[in-house]
């Protein structure tokens, strides 16, 4: 089996379509070679070799050694150098590369092939001893930490100690003899820690590096990143062994990272960072604060012009914004990487729109390029416009590079581990670091925002934060961070761990204290691209909303009705007149405590005007759109107090003995309330509750009709499990509704249907459809009852089920993304059987899955009429519904071929 693919001298065995095998980096190097760009030669070990490695107890495939040997010999022939040669050594980088971009999450080793002999040969060939030993110290440091696992911080501390002793700020200021001493210190440290000398054999170095890159695929930071980004189904990482080109040979050399368009705004500007006399990791790691490309254009105009040509060629070739890495060695440009660039949510929409308008891509392709996370993150907060400017001026403590727009407010935390700890307690945190590294990814993910003292817009912190749409400021050089004291000093002010900070990532400004944040208005490109999506989709998108405010907000987000209005939420809160909330609570509690129908009816009579008023507000907000109202669902014990003092207070307010309250609360106790006396079972036992709620709905609808509001009420009974059960409830519903309609002498069309939340209801859907005009799948409970999982308790063990390093049973949390194999099968069965009985049966979904993109696409394929999602997830559902149509068309074309 072929595991190794060569590229170089204008030819490549692979191509850009082979990401699954070569990884993104290897595929990019092969493709750039094929289209004639200046790429150093090398070879890629495939992801299939990594897959074999982990499936066979961390052993390499038997064919791999011979293939690596042959390709290394070919590389030596092409470059006319030999690995480890004492006079003119070939040096290589060994870098990871998966099919999906995982910036900085896996390992890299540079300058491999250096030893005590070849470093002298490199110095003599280049006439630059400082450069040779700078390359050697980097290699020893990387190999020690990446391959052997020695602490990176201890090696960095030796470098800092040397700079302090020499009284220099930058690495570039260390003279050759200082670097020689540093290499000696590193090698001695290596021997003390491992009991062995640092390896001199370059082939031993190479195989150690290949193994380390493979191992990094299952490293904690890589696994965490894949979990956060929901990356699954990949074979592993490829390994790219590439001839080294050097950006640290002097002032005519350098290294950079750039984007073919601005990744923050999406504007068609050439955007990037460049460092003179540096190697690539210096830019990505954020160890030094780089210059912008505009400065490079002044210092190296010929190289910049060539780079501009590469930019245009690659963007036309790939038809997407590209993230490029390059090195300039003694005035000559080399391209080291091209990949689809990570971008902010606003930039995602802008680039998709612009490229469609430019004719680079179609509108359909533009829609396909937007991800659910892009939509969600578009509404991340900004500093509230109402904040006074003079207040901001007083709070301003520092400025840095505005790496990722938006705003964040949280408590300053100085280590990633502690950020995770604080966040797990519900604290909002800002992660503050000198620079971030891939080991910080867990803390970066839970943080509200990220602040670093060094780095540019293409540093590790910026790239990762941008991919997550997370506010980030880098290169804030005024920060003096003291990790041992958990403190930073800036402008004569001390900020200790736990002190509030606010970041304005759009302006690059750091403020002391907590400042009010607000949701931003989406950019123009968002409305345009979402308009394209709405013209394509078949599936309607409703919202889950219980208040007029949420209903209005959902309409702004594009909702086409309400798919779930939870009436029980109204019992506790008056959203229009909060001061009246206590009256609602007392009324529902009085009804529950009552021990006769007459007493319950008196309490329900008090609730009726509140419910009617709520429904009027919601119908007005949804004028002309359908509103599905679920009758009371939770068990009654959730509405009454369980503490003695609160029970005494309630008894006093409703005028009954406290013993009556205590006894009733005890009667309501259930061992398993989720499967107990709740949902439509309450209406069977207490039909007066149903009658009050239906009356409130119908009277509100009639009142709205009189005002000229178009109303389309849909009354939904939750948790049904039998045809006869729903028949009883449906008849009771219609008896009340029709009586009120007749009394008012009006015409009002309404529907009566049910939630499908139990496997039995799904299996008997053909029978239930005889008495139901619509089905709405309550997939939260349907998932619980089908899988035997408690949504509230499964968090204790579900991580084991989705962690690929552990059991890896599920690809994701079934309460976030629908279990299409099991729960999905029941849904498809129920739809087919239900429509066999009632062909015009309206079908939707109202669980949390209605706002999850993969689940929405399943709903489209299953033939549903609509999905319902929380207001701010409505745009995600709109987009996913359009993408489902496009994916269906693509699958059809593929099948016809």
Q: Is 631 in contact with 717 (CB distance < 8 Å)?
A: yes
The token pair that represents 292 in the structure block: 């912008």
d(CA 755, CA 407): 40
The partner residues of 256 in beta bridges, in order of sequence, read 274, 326
d(CA 324, CA 526): 26
The token pair that represents 370 in the structure block: 């937007």
**Catalytic site residue from 846, 849, 859, 860:** 846
Q: Is 864 in contact with 831 (CB distance < 8 Å)?
A: yes
Kindly report the backbone phi and psi dihedral angles of residue 824, in degrees, each rounded to the nearest multiple of 5, phi listed first.
-60, -40
Q: Is 749 a catalytic residue?
A: no
Burial of 533 (0-12, 13-18, 19+ CB in 10 A): buried
Q: Is 460 a catalytic residue?
A: yes
d(CA 123, CA 134): 10
The token pair that represents 200 in the structure block: 């001199």
836's enclosing H/E stretch is: helix 823-837
CA–CA distances in Å: residue 6 to residues 22, 33, 42, 212, 879:
11, 10, 6, 21, 40
CA–CA distances in Å: residue 572 to residues 610, 667, 687:
11, 22, 21
> Quick one: which of 876, 599, 464 has its CA closest to 449?
464
Q: Is 528 in contact with 354 (CB distance < 8 Å)?
A: no
**Catalytic site residue from 445, 460, 717, 860:** 460
CA–CA distances in Å: residue 308 to residues 28, 212, 353, 796:
18, 35, 23, 53
Please tell me whether residue 203 adopts helix, strand or coil conformation: helix
Sequence-distant (6+) residues with CB within 8 A of 724 are none
CA–CA distances in Å: residue 595 to residues 30, 585, 598, 600, 700:
79, 18, 9, 7, 29
Report angle CA 129, 286, 319 to the nearest 5 degrees.
105
d(CA 457, CA 257): 9
d(CA 611, CA 617): 10
Q: Is 186 in contact with 97 (CB distance < 8 Å)?
A: no
Tally of residues, the chain:
897
Kindly report the backbone phi and psi dihedral angles of residue 41, in degrees, each rounded to the nearest multiple of 5, phi listed first.
-75, 160
Burial of 50 (0-12, 13-18, 19+ CB in 10 A): buried
d(CA 554, CA 874): 7
Catalytic residues: 460, 846
């Amino acid at each position: 089996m072929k595991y190794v693919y060569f590229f170089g001298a204008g030819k490549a065995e692979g191509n850009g379509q082979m990401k699954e095998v070569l990884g993104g980096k290897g595929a990019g190097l092969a493709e750039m070679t094929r289209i004639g760009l200046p790429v150093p030669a090398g070879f890629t070990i495939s992801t299939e070799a990594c897959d074999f490695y982990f499936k066979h107890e961390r052993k390499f495939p038997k064919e791999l050694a011979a293939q690596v040997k042959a390709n290394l010999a070919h590389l030596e022939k092409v470059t006319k150098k030999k690995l480890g040669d004492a006079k003119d050594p070939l040096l290589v980088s060994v870098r990871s590369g998966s099919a999906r971009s995982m910036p900085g999450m896996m390992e890299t080793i540079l300058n491999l092939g250096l030893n005590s002999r070849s470093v002298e040969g490199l110095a003599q060939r280049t006439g630059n001893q400082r450069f040779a030993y700078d390359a050697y110290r980097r290699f020893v440091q990387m190999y020690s930490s990446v391959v052997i696992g020695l602490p990176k911080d201890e090696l960095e501390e030796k470098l800092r100690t040397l700079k302090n002793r020499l009284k220099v700020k930058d690495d570039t200021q260390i003279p050759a003899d200082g670097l020689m001493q540093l290499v000696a210190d590193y090698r001695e440290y290596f021997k003390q820690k491992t009991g062995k000398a640092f390896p001199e054999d370059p082939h031993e170095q190479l195989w150690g590096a290949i193994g380390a890159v493979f191992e990094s695929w299952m490293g904690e930071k890589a696994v965490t990143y894949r979990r956060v980004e929901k990356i699954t189904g990949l074979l592993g990482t490829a390994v790219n062994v590439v001839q080294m080109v050097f950006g640290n040979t002097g002032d005519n050399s350098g290294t950079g990272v750039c984007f073919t368009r601005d990744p923050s705004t999406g504007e068609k500007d050439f955007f990037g960072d460049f460092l003179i006399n540096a190697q690539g990791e210096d830019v990505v790691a954020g160890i030094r604060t780089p210059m912008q490309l505009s400065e490079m254009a002044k210092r190296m105009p010929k190289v910049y012009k060539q780079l501009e040509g590469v930019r245009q060629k690659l963007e036309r070739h790939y038809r997407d914004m590209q993230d490029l890495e390059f090195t300039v060695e003694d005035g000559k440009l080399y391209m080291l990487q091209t990949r689809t660039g990570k971008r902010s949510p606003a930039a995602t929409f802008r680039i998709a729109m612009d490229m469609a308008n430019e004719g680079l891509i179609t509108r359909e392709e533009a829609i396909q390029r937007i991800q659910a996370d892009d939509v969600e993150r578009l509404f991340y907060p900004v500093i509230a416009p109402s904040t006074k400017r003079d207040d901001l001026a007083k709070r301003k403590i520092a400025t840095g590079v505005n790496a990722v727009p938006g705003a964040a407010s949280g408590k300053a935390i100085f280590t990633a581990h502690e950020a995770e700890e604080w966040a797990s307690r519900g604290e909002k945190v800002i992660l503050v670091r000198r620079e971030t590294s891939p080991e910080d990814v867990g803390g970066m993910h839970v943080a509200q925002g990220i602040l670093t003292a060094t780095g540019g817009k293409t540093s590790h912190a910026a790239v990762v934060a941008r991919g997550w749409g997370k506010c980030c400021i880098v290169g804030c050089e005024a920060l003096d961070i003291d990790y041992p004291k958990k403190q930073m000093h800036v402008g004569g002010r001390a900020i200790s761990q736990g002190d509030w900070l606010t970041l304005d990532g759009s302006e690059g400004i750091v403020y002391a204290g907590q400042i009010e944040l607000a949701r931003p208005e989406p950019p123009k490109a968002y409305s345009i691209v979402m308009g394209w999506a709405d013209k394509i989709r078949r599936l309607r998108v409703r919202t889950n909303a219980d208040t007029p405010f949420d209903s209005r907000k959902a309409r702004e987000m594009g909702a086409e009705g309400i798919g779930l209005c939870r009436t029980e939420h109204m019992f506790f809160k008056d959203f229009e007149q909060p001061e009246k909330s206590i009256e609602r609570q007392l009324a529902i509690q009085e009804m529950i405590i009552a021990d006769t129908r007459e007493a319950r009816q008196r309490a329900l009579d008090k609730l009726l005007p509140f419910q009617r008023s709520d429904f009027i507000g919601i119908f007005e907000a949804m004028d002309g759109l359908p509103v599905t109202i679920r009758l009371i669902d939770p068990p009654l014990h959730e509405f009454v107090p369980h503490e003695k003092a609160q029970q005494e207070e309630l008894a006093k307010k409703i005028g009954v003995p406290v013993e009556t309250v205590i006894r009733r609360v005890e009667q309501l106790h259930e061992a398993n309330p989720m499967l107990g006396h709740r949902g439509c079972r309450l209406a069977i036992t207490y039909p007066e509750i149903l009658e009050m709620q239906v009356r409130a709905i119908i009277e509100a609808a009639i009142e709205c009709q009189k005002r000229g509001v178009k109303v389309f009420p849909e009354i939904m009974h939750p948790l049904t499990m039998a045809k006869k059960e729903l028949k009883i409830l449906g008849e009771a519903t219609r008896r009340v509704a029709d009586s009120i309609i007749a009394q008012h002498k009006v015409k009002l069309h309404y529907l009566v249907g049910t939630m499908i939340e139990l496997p039995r209801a799904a299996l008997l859907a053909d029978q239930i459809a005889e008495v139901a005009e619509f089905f709405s799948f309550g997939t939260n409970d349907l998932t619980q009852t089908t899988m035997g999982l408690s949504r509230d308790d499964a968090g204790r063990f579900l991580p084991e089920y989705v962690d690929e390093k552990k059991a890896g049973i599920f690809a994701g949390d079934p309460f976030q993304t629908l279990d299409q194999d099991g729960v999905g099968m029941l849904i498809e069965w129920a739809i087919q059987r239900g429509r066999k009985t009632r062909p015009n049966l309206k079908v939707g979904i109202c669980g949390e899955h209605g706002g999850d993109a993969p689940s929405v696409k399943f709903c489209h394929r299953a033939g549903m009429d609509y999905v319902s999602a929380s207001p701010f997830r409505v745009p995600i559902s709109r987009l996913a519904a359009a993408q489902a149509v496009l994916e269906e068309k693509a699958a059809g074309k593929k099948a016809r071929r």
